[in-house]
Chains A and B, each alone.
Chain A
């Protein structure tokens, strides 16, 4: 496949003739002794205060003859100064906010000084906005890459934590960082990830989610194949268990892979609570997934085809609530489910203050009024509202969306074939999940292929004594996380 056309710079003359067309480019000429020195930079990208307070005064102070650019280095109080001759490199650095110094004699050479203004235009608050937890740290990643790397290094403080940089995007030149632990993460996985990234050819990388779709193993699936998170503790956990994290400059969301289906239903809070409550909430979350997927299909199947399944005492309330409804259960369900999706979508697009009003209008007014107007039955309203609520318990937003979308094909199946349709829909769903792979590792691990060593932290979160294994399927170079039997000498045992 032919790669897309690149915007290459072939010589420095070409570079400066292009950039000087842009109004936010600035060029200053200085006389130093016999020679003249040009200072080129983008005021919009560089720290102009720094340039005027430190760089220019330093250059004026120079009182000896300068023959070569290298000699300038000792006069300048900056730590990142490099000499560069490759036009493309110089162009890239200039765009990042470096200041380019050139001597009149040596036009093909440039001295690059890092005075870029990295934090300019970024938000300063780094609270987690979408993945909230009551217990645990509240800080999340932000749009700035170096802050994100700093935050992660605070959590994993060993030199083996490796950040490998790549640049993707012919227009955006976005920096992508692959993070893993040397001597722990399986090198094959790192290699697979790097190969995938090398194959990417895009113009602008807007967000890590964009990248996720490009590098994912299967694009024809509603399921997210990489974990997307803004939580630092989550990424630290993921890396420590043998997975890789992928930072994208300009995105507060960090990708992690290879991910499994269960990863998306795990909340960091499970680990902050003790194992009994943590497991309980995890089971509740998994049950709510099933409820959310199958509640309305079962309602349709039972009321359309298998009403014998309803006991006679329950039949009366169900029949009474649906007595005046002129529609078949299928139309009723589709109508209500679509309404809920409308509310959710409108709520997501509206500013937070109006969103509140919308909740009241949508939830109370529409729901109440549609029952009053005999358009839906009360019981269905309860079921649909509950299953919408249940779908929001999934901690990762992308997976929650997937579950809501999957409800519609299941509704279709149950409307056509009743209980048989639900069974077939479930089988197809399972087959689809079994076919999926994330970075060449199966999605349904540890259930299939079955891995006993990781079961203690899947459907339930067992006590820390039993969750000592890293993700065994990924073949990490060190499989044990920690030694579980810490001696608690002060505890007296009654024998």
Chain B
């Protein structure tokens, strides 16, 4: 039996679909095609699919871990497994990871804005506006965050229809010859597509806020499925529209795809894409901020309001720093390594720890009786 927060704070199980899907699809959706092609080239979509499938396993592990946590989240589990000191240390490490996630989203998006829309605008202004908005949303509580997530899955989904325009110029022979890459090349692409699926680990924090959470695994898997189907649609459209040589020169292929769209009353449809990404990054950032607040609140004696403002100020200081392309590359690599270690290293390790501690408990109980 897994722990659940008080009924008035929880959200319906089906919303786990939207929460999980939206916490994965953030800023990485804009440029992942560019990142994955150096490996498996036109076959890289297979790597995206395989990485997506592996996330199902991660979700299974997370559900297994959380079933045995006393308060249903990783914060309590760390303390429960590793004691107060080590547990708090691990919680601190998780907090740092979450901070990295939100900073990465904001830095990348402000780079997009600075490059394509407002070259003059300083990063701190963009960060300030975004963070104040996030504070307003997060102060509303988890239900409001979920509501925003739900709406912002539906609204940007309307843009998928506009992919019809680039598909009119699709060159399907770009996908041939089929499967002519080596395993290391596929592995390279797969490792580069991990950032696409980062965000699934947030489930470790908001799990107690899902009603009937033990039975909600179905919705989590639907969410993962939704994510990689979406990525496959975008990746395939991009590969059909651009050849491999062109993708190397496109920094944000998803955005440049939309430049082909124009109407008699509207010349540059790509602006809609750019500003639509406000809706895309808001939910993951809000969930992460909320998660940071939860960790700070449970490990220190700070109130929800104070801890939120502390996190926001830290994020603001990091994001307001002017980053250049090399630094961005370093940031991206850091995020990717951290995410890969967490998803494929730490979560399985945690599952093993939970398994051992369970066995120990059973063994002790048997010996006592």
Given A308-B268, A314-B265, A422-B275, verify A431-B117 contact (CB < 8 Å).
no
Quick one: given A309-B271, A427-B279, are A419 and B136 in contact (CB under 8 Å)? no
Known A-B contacts A311-B262, A423-B275, A430-B151; A418 and B117 likewise in contact (beta carbons under 8 Å) = yes
Which of the residues A422, A427, A432, A434 comes within 8 Å of B282, measured between beta carbons? A427
Are the C-beta atoms of B140 and A419 separated by less than 8 Å?
A: no
Total interface residues on B, CB under 8 Å, equals 34
Interface SS majority for chain B: helix
Query: Which residues from chain B contact A447 at a C-beta distance below 8 Å?
Result: 151
The one of A312, A424, A435 in contact with B144, judged by C-beta atoms closer than 8 angstroms, is: A435
Q: Which residues of B contact A421 (CB under 8 A)?
A: 129
Per-residue CB contact flags for chain B residues 239-277 toward chain A (1 = under 8 Å, else 0) read: 000000000000000000000001111111001001110
Residues 8-23 of B contacting A (Cβ, < 8 Å)? 11-12, 14
Partner of A431, one of B113, B118, B136, B264: B136
A447 to B155 CA separation, bound complex (whole angstroms): 12
Digit string of A346-358 for contact with B (CB within 8 Å is 1, else 0)? Answer: 0000000000000
A304 → chain B closest CB, angstroms: 11
- A310 CB within 8 Å of chain B: yes
Residues of A within 8 A of B148 (CB): 427, 430-431, 434
How far is the CB of B179 from the nearest CB of chain A, in Å? Answer: 41
Asked if B315 lies at the interface with its beta carbon under 8 angstroms from chain A, I say no
Given A419-B271, A434-B144, check contact A427 B266 (CB 8 Å): no
Cα A423 to Cα B274 in complex, Å, equals 10
Answer whether A444 and B147 are a contact pair too, CB < 8 Å, given A423-B275, A424-B129, A434-B140: yes
B14 closest partner in A (C-beta): A450
Tell yes or no: B137 within 8 A of A by CB: yes
Interface string of A381-421 (1 = CB under 8 A from B): 00000000000000000000000000000000000011111
Contacts of B146 in A (CB 8 A): 448
User: Could you tell me if B117 and A424 are in contact, using CB atoms closer than 8 angstroms?
Assistant: no
A309-B147 contact in complex given A420-B113, A428-B133, A434-B140, C-beta closer than 8 Å: no
Give the CA-CA distance A210 to B133 in the complex, in Å: 32
Q: Is A305 an interface residue (CB 8 A)?
A: yes
CB distance from A472 to the nearest CB of B (A): 13
CB-nearest residue of chain B to A416: B129
Give Cα distance in the complex from A305 to B130, angstroms: 19
Tell me whether chain A's interface is mostly helix, strand or loop, or mixed.
helix
Whether A306 lies near B278 (C-beta < 8 A) is no
Cβ of B94 under 8 Å from chain A: no
Nearest-neighbour CB distance to chain A for B154, whole angstroms, equals 9
Interface size on A, residues (CB 8 A): 29
Cβ-neighbour of A420 out of B14, B136, B268, B278 (below 8 A) = B278
Closest Cβ–Cβ distance, residue B138 to chain A (whole Å): 9
> From residue A41, how far is it (CB to closest CB) to chain B in Å?
53
- How distant is B211 from chain A, measured CB to nearest CB, in Å? 11
Q: In this assembly, does B64 line the interface, its C-beta being within 8 Å of a C-beta of chain A?
A: no
Q: Are B266 and A431 in contact (CB under 8 A)?
A: no
Could you tell me if A448 and B262 are in contact, using CB atoms closer than 8 angstroms?
no
Q: List, in ascending order, chain B residues with CB within 8 A of A326's CB.
A: none
Taken together as a complex, chains A and B put the C-alpha atoms of A58 and B144 apart, in Å, by: 68
Contacting A at CB under 8 A, from B103-150, are 113, 117-118, 126, 129-130, 133, 136-137, 140, 143-144, 146-148, 150
Q: How far apart are the CA atoms of A297 and B276 in the complex, in Å?
A: 16
Let me know if A449 is at the binding interface, CB within 8 A: yes
Given A419-B275, A450-B150, check contact A431 B129 (CB 8 Å): no
Which chain B residues numbered 318 to 367 have a C-beta less than 8 Å away from chain A?
none
Q: List, in ascending order, chain B residues with CB within 8 A of A311's CB.
A: 262-267
Instruction: From the candidates A312, A424, A448, name the one contacting B147 in the complex (CB within 8 A).
Output: A448
Choose among B130, B144, B146 the residue with the greatest number of A CB atoms under 10 Å from its CB.
B144
Q: Which residues of A contact B136 (CB under 8 A)?
A: 428, 431-432
B140 — which chain A residues lie within 8 A by C-beta? Answer: 431, 434-435
In angstroms, Cα B151 to Cα A444, docked, is 11
Residues of B within 8 A of A448 (CB): 146-147, 150-151
A305 near B117: Cβ-Cβ < 8 Å: yes
Q: How far is the CA of A449 from the CA of B13 in the complex (A)?
A: 11
**A443: min CB distance to chain B, Å:** 10
Residues of B close to A419: CB separation below 8 A: 117, 271, 274-275
In Å, the complex CA distance between A278 and B129 comes to: 41
State whether B278 touches A309 (Cβ < 8 A): no
- Answer whether A420 and B265 are a contact pair too, CB < 8 Å, given A427-B282, A428-B133, A435-B144: no
18 A-B contacts, Cβ less than 8 Å apart? Answer: A305-B117, A306-B117, A309-B266, A309-B271, A311-B262, A313-B264, A419-B271, A420-B126, A423-B275, A424-B133, A428-B133, A430-B151, A431-B133, A431-B136, A431-B137, A431-B140, A434-B147, A448-B147
Residues on B close to A: CB < 8 A? 11-12, 14, 113, 117-118, 126, 129-130, 133, 136-137, 140, 143-144, 146-148, 150-151, 262-268, 271, 274-276, 278-279, 282
16 additional A-B pairs beyond A434-B140, A444-B147, beta carbons within 8 Å, are A305-B117, A308-B267, A309-B268, A309-B271, A311-B262, A314-B265, A424-B133, A427-B133, A427-B137, A431-B133, A431-B144, A431-B148, A434-B151, A435-B140, A448-B151, A450-B150
